[in-house]
Amino acid sequence: MKLNPSMRTNQMPDKVLLSTILMLIIFGWVMMLSASLAHFDSYTFFLKQTLFIFMGLSAGLITLNTPISVLQKYSIPLFILTIILLAIVFLPSPIGHTANGSTRWINFVYFKFQPSELMKLSMVLFMAGFLIRQEKDLRKPWMGFLKTVLIIGIADLLILFETDLGATLIISLTALAMLYAAGSYLKQLSIVTFALLGLIGVIIINYPNRLDRLVSFWSEDLWRSDAKIYQTQQALIGIARGDWFGTGLGAGIQKYYLLPERHTDMIFAVIGEELGVLGMLFVLLSFLYILLKGFSIAKLALQKGRHYSSYVAFGICTWFAMQITVNIGMNLGLLPPKGFTLPLLSYGGTSMIFSIIALAIVLRIDMENRTKYSKQRDYV
C-alpha cells in the first residue's frame, strides 16, 4: 500500500517513551532467561520469547509507519475476523487447543495463537470507530448503550465459553470506559456495568471450581499448611526472600518447581525475588510513565479534534492499566490468581506481539499529534 505523502508525519517517535518500552521488553527478555533456568538447561521459553519479541518489534515498526486512518478503515473487518477466530477455537483438535480445562488457543505449526488477546486490540479499534459513527445516539439515554452492549456481548459470550473470565472483564470494562469517555451518561453506564458484573457472578457460581478459588482466597488463612492458595504463598515467599536488593539475577529458588506459572502470570514474583524491591519499583515506575504519557497523548489528540485517535489511545491505556494492576495485585497477594499476563514481561507470543503493536499505535498517535497543523486535517 502506497501512502499519500501528506499522510507522512516527518516526526520521530517520542524518544523517552520509546526507550521506556524497549527497556521493559529487554528487561522481560532477560528475566525470561532466568525463568528458563528452572527447566534445567532447557531454554525453550527463552528462545521462543526471543522469536515473539522479534515478530512483535517487526509488526510494531510497520504500525509506526501506518496512519491511524488506515487502522480506522480496517477496524470493522479486523473485528469480524477476530470473532471468526474466537469461534474457530472450539473446533476439535488439532485445530483448537485445550489446556488446564480452558479452550483458548488455535494450533499452528510452531506456536499457539490466542484470539482473545487480539480481541483486546480489535475491540478498542472497533469501539473507537463505533463511537464516532454513533456520536449522536451515544448522548441519548440507552440508545448508545444498547448498541454497545450488543457488540460487547458477542465477543464476551465467545470468550466466556472459552472459560477466560479475565479476558472477558478486561475487554468489557475497556469498552465501557471508552463509552463513558465519549460522553455517555453515568447512570446508564452504572446500570450496565452492574448487570455485567451480575452476569459474571452467576457464571462464577455455576462453575464451583471458580467460586471455590475466590472464596478460598478471601476466607482462608493464607499460611495454613492446607491452604488452597499455594501459588500466592510461593509468590509472597519469593518476594520476601528478595528483600530490597534481591538474591541476584538467576539466583532465585522459588522458580524451581515451587512457584507455578513463574514465566507467565507470576513473572513479577520472580523479579521481586531476584532483583528485590528495587527491581519491582523499576517495573512499576516504567509502567506508570507509559500509562501517564499514553493518557496525555489521548488528551492532546482530543484537544486537536482527532476523536478516533483519542479514543484509541484512551482504550489501549485503560486496557494496559487494568491488566497491569490485576497481574501485580495477584503477585502481591492482593487479588486471587487469574490468568493475566504482565504486558511486555510475561511469556506468551500472542500477548507480546499485540502488546507491542498496541503501544506502537500510541506512539503513532503521538507522532501525528506533533505533525504540522496543515497536515493534521488528514488525520483522524
What is the Cα–Cα distance from 352 to 358, expressed in whole angstroms? 10
User: 44-64 and 15-36 are packed helices; what angle lies between their axes, rounded to 10 degrees?
Assistant: 160
> The C-alpha cell of 176 is what?
465501557
What is the layout of strands, in order, in the sheet containing 102-107?
A: 96-99, 102-107, 112-113
Within 13 Å, how many C-alpha atoms sit on residue 247's CB side?
A: 19
Domain boundaries, the chain: 31-65+238-372+376-380, 82-206
Q: What nine digits make up the cell of 195? A: 448487570
Cell match 502481591: residue? Answer: 332
Q: At what angle do helices 267-303 and 307-331 cross, to 10 degrees?
A: 160
The identity of residue 72, as a single letter, is: Q
Output the DSSP codes for 179-208.
HHHTT--HHHHHHHHHHHHHHHHHHHHHSH
pLDDT value at residue 6: 45
Q: What's the CA gap between 333 and 33, in Å, rounded?
A: 25
Q: What does the pLDDT read at residue 219?
A: 61
Q: For each of the chain's 380 residues, which pLDDT tens digit applies?
A: 444 544 566 788 899 999 999 999 999 999 888 877 765 556 777 888 899 999 999 999 999 999 999 999 999 999 999 999 888 887 777 777 666 666 677 877 667 888 888 999 999 999 998 888 776 655 565 666 677 778 788 887 888 776 677 788 888 889 888 887 777 656 666 776 677 677 667 766 666 666 666 566 666 666 665 556 777 788 888 888 888 888 888 777 777 777 777 777 888 988 998 999 999 999 999 999 999 999 999 999 999 888 999 999 999 999 999 999 999 998 888 887 777 889 999 888 889 999 999 999 999 999 999 887 555 555 77
pTM here is 0.86
Q: SS3 of 12, please?
A: coil
Q: Which three cell numbers stand for residue 270?
A: 520472580
333 Rama sector, left if φ>0, alpha if ψ -120 to 50, beta otherwise? left
In terms of phi and psi (left: phi > 0; alpha: psi -120 to 50; beta: otherwise), the region of 276 is left
Measured between alpha carbons, how far is 180 from 16 in angstroms, rounded to an integer?
Answer: 30
The amino acid at 358: A
Cell numbers describing residue 137: 445516539
Residue 331's nearest CA partner among 286, 287, 289, 284 is 284
pLDDT at 360: 97
| pLDDT number for residue 157 | 81
What is the end-to-end Cα distance of the chain in Å, rounded? 19
In the prediction, which pLDDT does 149 show? 74
Dist CA 93 CA 82 (whole Å): 20
Q: How many residues does the chain have?
A: 380
For residue 5, the model assigns a pLDDT of 47
